[in-house]
Amino acid sequence: MRIRTLVAIGASAVTVTASIVVANLPAQAATTTTPSTMAQQLARQTLATGDGWAASGTGTTGGSAADDAHVFTVRNRAELVAALGGDNLTNGTNATSKIIYVAGGIEANVDDADTPLTCADYADPAYTTEAFLAAYDPAVWGRAAKPSGPVEDARVRSTKNQGARINIQVGSNTTIVGLRGSKITGMNLILNKVDNVIIRNLTMEDAFDCFPSWDPTDGSAGNWNSLYDTMSLTAATHVWVDHSSFSDGNHRDAQLPEHFGRIYQGHDGLLDITKASDLVTVSYCKFFDHDKTMLIGSTNTVGADVGKLRVTLHHNLYANVGQRAPRVRFGQVDLYNNSYQATTEDSFSYSWGVGVYSAIYAENNFILRSADIPVEDFAYNWGGTAITEIGTLVRVGTQPAQPVSLVEAFNAAKDPDLGTDAGWTPTLRAAPVTPTAAVQSLVSAQAGSGRLGL
């Protein structure tokens, strides 16, 4: 039950719908469709001084300064595209300060009239999954080369059809706030060559690729790979992602079929930060039920990424994720006060990926692990040299948490070893680091969407 009220916001009187939930209804069942006073306050907030790498230099203010004409509430894909600037092909260059509230469920796989589109709607006439499997079965195609030829070309055309709907470009000076009960499904939000963006209280699920590619040369048995992340930062700077949730939703990997003996993977990252992106803070977010969670740096090539990819990750929850929590190349990454729940051994690969030229500073992180996931599996050397680790606590089941060095455990079990000094000490922290013993309960209570009074 909601009661309309008239409240004054700043200098102007604004009609809002205050969401007043009757006591016997669960609060999380409520969905608001107009921004509450709290939502409006959150949308006008800027990143706190010193709160991670995104506070560096000019800081991160997003669209907090938007004028009244550039405050939008969107309820579907078309409204979101309109609010971002009106033409998704050019929205990434729209630097007007703007605040966008996301209301209700927004589906990306829809036409302009919000009618659902299926994978079949995107498929090129020359593409079917069956034709693809027949053409590139290792028994036919072999394993020496990636697919090429007419069926692969048709797959690529199909992918472009889907990408034109689900890739949504966000421009500079934008704040996006999810309202209570809101959710974006099937979308890849793209922040490309933009500066100064804030994302808060957003729920994003299942950026599913209808047309995975097959790479028989990926790993020892080949892999199906997909294109889309729920959120992608490419050459993006000053980005703050806060109190948001990212997952595969109801479209979990365990439900996907296997082809050629490998899972027909329809997801890429949840929040990938690549191509010389820089000055990013990700705080109080929840990443769960997913495999390739957060890639920071996508290539070993020494080039544009050098000196970039500086990211702060604090008070995030990583629950039932397979790998890349995060995987880092090049960046100075401050990884503190994060909570890991690694209790699904079947899908677990590793958490901290120490890649080339990476400099991860990991402080006071908490690990809850299944007894079936060895402690030496949490860190992994992807060609890096060192990682600083301080104050990790590891708990198995309901046993008391123990101080454990994930890096020492890795070094004792595997080669080549990792050094223990990443060569820098973070200074951009808005508050004293949380004692590790308090991290699990604090992060469980506060990370993710739906925790800011919305």
Query: Given the rule CB under 5 A, which residues bind Ca ion?
Result: 229, 268-269, 272, 411, 415, 417
* SS3 sequence of the chain: CCEEEEEEECCEEEEEEECCCCCCCCHHHCCCCCCCHHHHHHHCCCCCCCCCHHHCCCCCCCCCCCCHHHEEEECCHHHHHHHHCCCCCCHHHCCCCEEEEECCEEECCECCCCCECCHHHHCCCCCCHHHHHHHHCHHHHCCCCCCCCHHHHHHHHHHHHHHHHHEEECCCCEEEEECCCCEEECCEEEEECCEEEEEECCEEECCCCCCCEEECCCCCCCEEECCCCCEEEECCEEEEEECCEEECCCCCHHHCCEECCEECCCCCCCEEEECCCEEEEEECCEEEEEEECCEECCCCCCCCCCCCCCEEEECCEEEEEEECCCEECCCEEEEECCEEEECCHHHCCCCEEEECCCEEEEECCEEEECCCCCHHHCEEEEECCEEEEECCEEEECCCCCEECCHHHHHHHHCCCCCECCCCCCCCCCCCCCCCHHHHHHHHHHHCCCCCCCC
| Shortest CB 75 distance to Ca ion, Å | 28
> Which member of 324, 327, 329, 369 is catalytic?
324
Closest CB to Ca ion among residues 71, 387: 387
* Residue 324 falls in the annotated catalytic set: yes
| Shortest CB 228 distance to Ca ion, Å | 7
Closest CB to Ca ion among residues 83, 271: 271
Closest CB to Ca ion among residues 234, 343: 234
| Shortest CB 37 distance to Ca ion, Å | 37
Cα 154 from Cα 158, distance rounded (Å): 6
| Shortest CB 227 distance to Ca ion, Å | 7
| Six-digit token string for 198 | 């804030």
Cα 433 from Cα 429, distance rounded (Å): 8
Closest CB to Ca ion among residues 79, 218: 218
| Shortest CB 92 distance to Ca ion, Å | 17
Closest CB to Ca ion among residues 181, 212: 212
- What's at 441, amino acid-wise? S
Which residue number is nearest to Ca ion in terms of Cβ?
272
Closest CB to Ca ion among residues 71, 210: 210
| Shortest CB 234 distance to Ca ion, Å | 9
| Shortest CB 292 distance to Ca ion, Å | 7
Closest CB to Ca ion among residues 304, 431: 304
Residues forming the active site: 324
